[in-house]
């Protein structure tokens, strides 16, 4: 059996982003139930030199929308990165999954060998589409969603492995 670039990318990205939105919803409910200022959780980080929760969510969504757009040859939408509430973070995730929904398999399939160049602070990185997806996008997405999950779990939000993985 052969898996297509579309199957390996957009459905996986959407699933993980939807799981992230559910985790954020649980965090909002936790903050309300425990009378915690939501801004405290949103600004929380695992270590002083790591990004806070809001930035983890922003990078996860940037990774997903960038992947779809780059593979399809579309323009990457720009977001303001100014989310300060759980509702705004969840809306950003939803806006991203809506963006991903606009792509068809025909736009993504066949991009395994497409040249993708990212301009980084340390210099350009060039990949083929498949290497970009498997060795950059997916690890980056999982890293930032995992870190968001860990920040919330560390702060007492009752989430578990199945919240991260989602329901089949």
Q: Dump pLDDT digits (tens) for 121-131.
A: 999 999 999 99
Q: Is the pTM of this model over 0.85?
A: yes
For domain 5-165, give the CATH number: 1.20.120.450
Whole-number average pLDDT of the chain: 97
> How much is the average pLDDT of 14-29?
98
Tell me: pLDDT of 167 over 90. no
How large is the average pLDDT for residues 137-151?
98
Distance, in Å, from the CA atom of 141 to the CA atom of 143, rounded to the nearest integer, reads 5
DSSP, res 134:
I
Alpha helices in the chain (DSSP H): 5-8, 10-34, 38-42, 53-72, 86-101, 105-108, 129-132, 138-154, 161-165
SS3 123: strand
Beta carbons of 53 and 152 less than 8 angstroms apart: yes
Q: Determine the Cα–Cα distance for residues 36 and 46; give it in Å rounded to an integer.
A: 18
How much is the pLDDT for 168?
76
Q: What are the structural domain ranges in the chain? A: 5-165
Please write the tens of the pLDDT for every residue from 60-96.
999 999 999 999 999 999 999 999 999 999 999 999 9
């Amino acid at each position: 059996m052969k898996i297509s670039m579309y199957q390996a990318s957009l459905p996986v990205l959407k699933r993980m982003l939807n799981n992230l939105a559910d985790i954020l919803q649980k965090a909002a409910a936790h903050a309300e139930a425990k009378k915690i200022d939501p801004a405290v959780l949103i600004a929380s980080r695992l270590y002083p030199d790591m990004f806070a929760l809001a930035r983890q969510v922003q990078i996860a969504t940037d990774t997903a929308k960038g992947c779809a757009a780059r593979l399809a040859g579309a323009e990457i939408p720009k977001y303001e990165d100014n989310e300060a509430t759980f509702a705004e973070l969840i809306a950003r995730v939803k806006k991203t999954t809506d963006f991903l929904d606009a792509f068809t398999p025909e736009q993504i399939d066949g991009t395994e060998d497409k040249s993708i160049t990212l301009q980084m602070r340390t210099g350009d990185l060039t990949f083929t589409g498949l290497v970009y997806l498997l060795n950059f996008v997916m690890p980056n997405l999982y890293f930032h969603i995992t870190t968001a999950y860990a920040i919330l779990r560390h702060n007492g939000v009752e989430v578990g492995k199945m919240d991260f993985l989602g329901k089949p």
